[in-house]
Amino acid sequence: MKKKYIIGVDGGSQSSKVIIFDLEGNIVCEGKQNLRPMSLPAPGVVEHPDDDLWDSIVAASRLAMSSFSGNPEDIIGIGLCTIRFCRVLLKEDGTLASPAMSWMDERVSRPYEHINPSVKYVTTTSGYITHRLTGNFHDTAANYQGQWPINTDTWQWSEDPEVIKKMNIPREMLFHLKMPGTILGHMSEKAAQITGLPASIPVVATANDKAVEALGAGSLAENTALISLGTYIASMVHGHENPKDTMQFWTNFAAIPNHYLYESYGIRRGMWTVSWFKNLLGDDIALKAEALSITEEEYLNQEAQKVPAGSDGLMTVLDWLAPVHEPFKKGLMIGFDARHSGAHIYRSILEAIALTMKDRADAMCAELSIELDHIIVSGGGSNSSLFMQIFADVFGVPASRNIVNGSASLGSAICAAVAVGAYDSYQTATEKMVKIRDTFQPNKTNTDFYKRINDEVYKHITAYTDEILKKSYPIFR
């Protein structure tokens, strides 16, 4: 029997990745293209320049196919996952009417305003890329959260006139919705020529990027949380109900039809802060890492490993991107003394991510009346064994990372594998395709110490600093 392959597309906030998997979830080859810096033409406006989302997928696709040694005819499907909470305005022919709005753009948090007469369709990034690949005006239902006239119970467009009026998007401007794990269309000859991907293969609906990542991480048990380390960091657990008016989490569509993903409040510019600090060190860290023949990240982790839990009292508050309703918030580092080095700062940032997510995951779990017994950590940050141990110690439960840690691409492949009949269920597909790399057990001494830091100090910092920042905001904004 010939070996078959699935393509998983992960169009993220910082890069587009196109990965070809076999049906056991092993990476056969991959292509990656970094996105260009965001365009910031006016306050509150954050756009992907030109046609960067599509161009980056084209480049990544060509890289993946150039290193694929198998027969393209044995590629049986492609799962498509792109960034959530974006808004894309299209002309009648499906081309961009204006640059795609990032999830950080203030306009996406408000109802649509029809001010450009050339706009025929209002869609998501996944809807736009689906059209580029297939020519169809189809999109996954599971990428519509926020300012959209969606009925989250039925996974279809709302028929309530008040909802439609509030969101200001008439039905004729919206794409046709498809459920995750169903076929959106087939790769057009034109798209195949541009991307190098095989023509006529099924293009499969997945969901929003966090839901696809949760599926690809294999975190299906309701007492297992996924900690997703990305530009936006969140913790998530799966469930079957669609609770409304929740206080400590919000309910998202899962990548499994008629299932939901409960998502805690997260950290904006989360792993971006790690990159920010690395760039701040500049050539110094690059030269030291080069002298040891290791990466800059490995060097930072080696140095931070020497720093004790708690970073000798240095604490970081990760408000590097203030929410719209609290514009005064700023990032903080508090507790400096003469002991502190760059390694302390780095470890303090890692600890801040873990402590913040512990507090937000705990609040979500308390409202859901569940208790976590395991966490899975995904994203590039999970490559750090130090970071994984900090997560295990802070959460006080085993922390696992998978062989494929950029799990959105694998989640896309799982959706495609189910859609084309390679597996009969999501459960079977995840069991066959998701593989744990290793698991870190909590150190009880560190767990107790982190709990004391958090309960007595860390979670209370902003109650005091916010008042100062409110006063400084009018001066420095």
**What does the block give as tokens for 91?**
């002309």
Structure tokens at 267: 């950290």
* Residue 94 amino acid letter: G
Identify the pLDDT of residue 219: 84
Assigned token pair, 224: 């297992």
DSSP state of 265: -
Closest listed residue to residue 203, CA positions, set 185, 191, 189: 185
Predicted confidence pLDDT, tens digits, the chain (477 residues): 689 999 999 998 889 999 999 999 999 999 999 999 999 999 999 999 999 999 999 999 999 999 999 999 999 999 999 999 999 999 999 999 999 999 989 999 999 999 999 999 999 999 999 999 999 999 999 999 889 999 999 999 999 999 999 999 999 999 999 999 999 999 999 999 999 999 999 999 999 999 999 999 998 888 999 999 988 899 999 999 999 999 999 999 999 999 999 999 999 999 999 999 988 888 888 899 889 999 989 999 999 999 999 999 999 999 998 888 899 999 999 999 999 999 999 999 999 999 999 999 999 999 999 999 999 999 889 999 999 999 999 999 999 999 998 789 999 999 999 999 999 999 999 999 999 999 999 999 999 999 999 999 999 999 999 999 999 999 998
What pTM was estimated for this model as a whole?
0.88
Beta strands in 127-201 (DSSP E): 138-140, 150-151, 156-157, 176-178, 183-186
With residue 30 as reference, give the H or E element that holds it. strand 27-34
* Distance of alpha carbon 67 from alpha carbon 48, whole angstroms: 28
Q: Bridge partners of 315?
A: 334
**Residues 423 and 79: beta-carbon distance below 8 Å:** no
- pLDDT tens-digit profile of 271-324? 999 999 988 888 888 899 889 999 989 999 999 999 999 999 999 999 998 888
CB burial of 81-113 (b: ≥16 within 10 Å; e: otherwise) equals bbbbbbbbbbeeebebbebbbbbbbebbbeebe
Q: What is the rounded CA–CA span in Å between residue 257 and residue 427? A: 13
Contact yes or no for 88/51 (Cβ under 8 A):
no
Provide the pLDDT for residue 307.
97
CB-neighbour burial class of residue 438 (10 A; exposed 0-12, middle 13-18, buried 19+): exposed
Q: 385-395 vs 342-368: helix axis angle to the nearest 10?
A: 40
Phi/psi zone of residue 378: left (φ > 0), alpha (ψ -120 to 50 degrees), beta? beta
Residues with Cβ < 8 Å from 18, sequence gap 6 or more?
7, 8, 9, 10, 30, 31, 32, 57, 60, 61, 63, 64, 409
